[in-house]
Amino acid sequence: MNAETIDKSKVIRHAATVVLIRDADTKPRVLMGQRGAKAAFMPNKFVFPGGAVDKTDHGLPVAEQGAEPCRTRLGEDAPDGIGPALLAAAIRELWEETGQILGTPGTWPSPPPDNWRAFAESGYIPSPDGLAFVFRAITPPGRPRRFDARFFVADAARLKTDPDDFSGAADELSHLQWISLADVRDFDLPFITQVVLAEIAGRLPDLDAPPSVPYFKNDEEESLFLRLQGASPLG
């Protein structure tokens, strides 16, 4: 089949999203930006930085330190080996959309892919240290784009960059800002974003990996809230 004739609403792509929380133990804020009015997926909505896994996210030199229990859980959840690429995609999307770096100082063992070059030139290799796998959701049928998204939460203190400097961001998200969790529902949020935020807010100031990971599973027959690590329906 010609690639141009593929119905993108039928293709479910792996995706990764980063939920950065600042001042978790005092007045928690979350980093969000607004999607463009002409975006095919969730136009005008305020969202976390994130996006689809790219082929260049596979086989990258992702730091081992701090990867657990996240990497093991991803391996159990995604036995196809997509886990390391999901972590890499989360870090890349955060970098591209906000200019913020989750990394460790280091030299790349080989020339980086084009879309990783600027990250590598900053003197860092991607590091999942501090990322916690907290939610999984599949976009419901009928949407113009569908994603199997894993959400990762991290303390903004893990950033290697100034959390208020978005000068390195691409133009995919506008109005990048730290929004108080007390005010975030005043913004135009997707439903799943509200659900993820409620899960995270309910555990604050704890930003570690939860005992089990909520999974909002949507297929052609039904929508279910499950729990990974046992995957029992939520009551």
pLDDT of residue 1: 40
pLDDT of residue 37: 64
Q: How confident is the model at residue 176 (pLDDT cuts 50, 70, 90)?
A: very high
* Long-range contacts of the stretch 191-194 (C-beta < 8 A, 24+): 192/137, 192/216, 193/45, 193/46, 193/47, 193/48
pLDDT of residue 96: 96
Q: Which of 16, 48, 11, 33 is CA-nearest to residue 145?
A: 11
pLDDT of residue 119: 96
Residue 130 in contact with residue 155, Cβ under 8 Å? yes
Beta bridge pairs of residue 35:
173
Distance, CA of 4 to CA of 139 (rounded, Å):
22
Three-class DSSP labels, the chain: CCHHHCCCCCCEEEEEEEEEEECCCCCCEEEEEEECCCCCCCCCCEECCEEECCHHHCCCCCCCCCCCCHHHHHHHHCCCCCHHHHHHHHHHHHHHHHCCCCEEECCCCCCCCHHHHHHHHCCEEECCCCCEEEEEEECCCCCCCEEEEEEEEEEHHHCCCCCCCCCCCCCCEEEEEEEECCCHHHCCCCHHHHHHHHHHHCCCCCCCCCCCCEEEEECCCCEEEEECCCCCCCC
Distance, CA of 189 to CA of 16 (rounded, Å):
18
Report pTM.
0.88
- Fold topology of 16-227: Nucleoside Triphosphate Pyrophosphohydrolase (3.90.79)
Q: What is the mean pLDDT of residues 159-182?
A: 94
Q: Which two tokens stand for residue 176?
A: 């990048």
Q: Per-residue pLDDT for 19 more than 90?
A: yes
pLDDT of residue 115: 94
Averaged pLDDT score across all residues of the chain: 87
90-117 tens-digit pLDDT: 999 999 999 999 999 999 999 999 999 9
Q: Per-residue pLDDT for 230 more than 60?
A: no
